[in-house]
Amino acid sequence: MLNDSPITIVGGRQLHGEIAINASKNAALPVIAAALLTAEPVTLHGVPRLSDVYILLDVMAALGTHHTWVGANSLRLHTPAVTCVIAPDELVGKMRATFLVMGALLARQGEAVVAPPGGCTFSQRPVDQHLKAFRAMGAEVRVDGGAYHATLRGSASGSVVFDLLTVGGTQNAMLAAVLGDGDVTIDNASIDTDVMCLADFLNSLGAVIEGAGTHTIRIEGVPALRGGDFRIIPDRIEAGTFLAIAAATRSRLTLTNVIPSHLRAVTGKLRDMGAVILETGDVIMIDARDELRAVNVTTSEYPAFPTDVQPQFSALLATVGGTSVVVDRIYPGRTTHVAQLHRMGARAELMGETQIIHGGPLQGTTVQATNIRDGAALVIAALAAEGESTIEGTVYLNRGYERLVDRLRAVGADIRQCGEQAALPFAVAME
């Protein structure tokens, strides 16, 4: 369905024009999982056509959710009854966000069996905080046959205090807490945009969640959620990737369908580098045609610089004269792109897990993506490099970037893919 063939790019071309940013993958996935909570149909607008979305839909189909695409990016979900509380291991093992069905199943059925999730493996990614939250609100959790078995008698209630800021942990706790007649307080909650999006969705169905976007979230259980319509927020990570593309190719690009306040850490860093950024409403214009300066980047939890844009910025900084230091405090081991950038002539070293990047010209060659954002970093490096590059492992790009080849070509990139992007299925009825 999605084209996994290698992508070939002839670099060194300046780009120009407008790119419409898609809705956020990482905001859409928890909202899709949340559809397990209600027996009424929900229609989501702006759902990106990505492999992660398809995998989560497969997991939910096994649990009782019917889905229908009712437009290019509109998805109707209906879970009249949960028919199974065991998430299929082989699908859960494919990506991280599948673990979010655990909170929703616990809330709706009082029982869930979910294996440890898969996903990008650039660092240890435990789920201890998710399990701690379920236990703090009254669930029993045990490990059996390689999967977590959780049961909740009565309603979720109690106080959850996370040891660290976790986006998925906060979302899973919210999902587990919304139904019933108990109250749950979550302290040291993530204030990530994707947590706020999930709270907005749940509240639109009748949940009572206060404080999302602050470090204390209070949830008052309700007997049931209704159905409804909801639009997913724009993807700040996709926008950050296109901003890095504009800067690496020393181009002027206009991004539409963005929320500029979600991107302040990224646009601030680009301004520090010397790029001109103009923001009006839901539009960001970047002009990076003048000389850029090296900067240091340290990732941290939202609203700080996002880990999911770190590899892309490392690729950008590899094209900028001077020395930049890049540290990822969320996933210190998220450095798989460095060896591939080396193959393109980048003078980037790892001192422990700190990237020291001495920017300069890059040369095209064949490189291999091993995860979603190192793939994006390699596209950026290839667009900036002299000559032709081939990027293998595009299966990872299909996790996070819808119609990337077409959209880059539309702004002047010399980019092609064997077989090109297959036409997307439209209105595939599953109900």
Ligand X SMILES: CC(=O)N[C@H]1[C@@H](OP(=O)(O)OP(=O)(O)OC[C@H]2O[C@@H](n3ccc(=O)[nH]c3=O)[C@H](O)[C@@H]2O)O[C@H](CO)[C@@H](O)[C@@H]1O
Ligand Y SMILES: C=C(OP(=O)(O)O)C(=O)O
Q: How far is the CB of 151 from ligand Y (least distance, A)?
A: 27
Q: How far is the CB of 122 from ligand Y (least distance, A)?
A: 8
**Beta carbon nearer to ligand Y, 372 or 413:** 372
Q: Does residue 28 belong to the site contacting ligand X (CB under 6 A)? A: no
Which of 110, 234, 260, 400 is close enough to bind ligand Y by CB under 6 A? 400
* Binding residue count for ligand Y, defined by CB under 6 A: 10
Q: Does residue 49 belong to the site contacting ligand Y (CB under 6 A)? A: no
Which of 96, 130, 250, 262 is close enough to bind ligand Y by CB under 6 A? 96
Angstrom distances, CA of residue 89 to CA of 43, 81, 107, 115, 266: 27, 21, 20, 6, 36
Give the three-state DSSP class for 380: helix
Q: Which two tokens stand for residue 311?
A: 């590899």
Q: How far is the CB of 360 from ligand Y (least distance, A)?
A: 27
Q: Which two tokens stand for residue 274?
A: 């010397």
DSSP for 245-277, written as a single string: HHHHTT-EEEEES--GGGGHHHHHHHHHHT-EE
**Catalytic residue (one of 84, 120, 197, 418):** 120
394 Cβ neighbours under 8 A, 6+ residues apart: 3, 4, 5, 6, 7, 369, 375, 417
Q: Does residue 391 belong to the site contacting ligand Y (CB under 6 A)? A: no
Nearest to 431 by CA among 15, 46, 61: 61
Binding mask 18-47 for ligand Y (x = CB under 6 A): --------x---------------------
Q: How far is the CB of 364 from ligand Y (least distance, A)?
A: 25
Q: How far is the CB of 271 from ligand Y (least distance, A)?
A: 24
Q: Which two tokens stand for residue 26?
A: 């990482």
Q: Is 418 a catalytic residue?
A: no
Footprint of ligand X on residues 121-180 (CB under 6 A)?
A: 124-130, 164, 166-169
* Binding residue count for ligand X, defined by CB under 6 A: 21
| C-alpha span between 371 and 337 (Å, rounded) | 9
Q: Which two tokens stand for residue 329?
A: 């405090």
| C-alpha span between 30 and 305 (Å, rounded) | 22
Q: Does residue 80 belong to the site contacting ligand X (CB under 6 A)? A: no
Q: Does residue 333 belong to the site contacting ligand X (CB under 6 A)? A: no
76 binds, among ligand X, ligand Y, none (CB under 5 to 8 A by kind): none
**Beta carbon nearer to ligand Y, 176 or 376:** 376
Alpha helices in 126-166 (DSSP H): 128-136
Question: For 44, phi and psi rounded to 5 degrees?
Answer: -105, 135
Q: Does residue 292 belong to the site contacting ligand X (CB under 6 A)? A: no
Q: Which helix (H) or strand (E) holds 196?
A: helix 193-204
Q: Does residue 383 belong to the site contacting ligand Y (CB under 6 A)? A: no
Token pair 């291991």 in the structure block, residue? 89
Q: Does residue 94 belong to the site contacting ligand X (CB under 6 A)? A: no
Q: Is residue 34 within 8 Å of residue 104, measured between CB atoms? A: yes
Q: Is residue 413 within 8 Å of residue 407, measured between CB atoms? A: no
Asked if the peptide bond before residue 303 counts as cis, ω within 30 degrees of 0, the response is yes
**Beta carbon nearer to ligand Y, 11 or 117:** 117
| C-alpha span between 312 and 153 (Å, rounded) | 46
Q: Does residue 308 belong to the site contacting ligand X (CB under 6 A)? A: yes
Contact segment (CB under 6 A) with ligand Y among 10-18, 93-101, 126-134, 218-226 equals 93-101
Footprint of ligand X on residues 95-114 (CB under 6 A)?
A: 96-97
Q: Which residues are catalytic?
A: 120
Residues of this chain that interact with ligand Y (CB under 6 A) are 26, 95-97, 119-120, 308, 372-373, 400
Residues of this chain that interact with ligand X (CB under 6 A) are 26, 29, 96-97, 124-130, 164, 166-169, 194, 307-308, 330-331
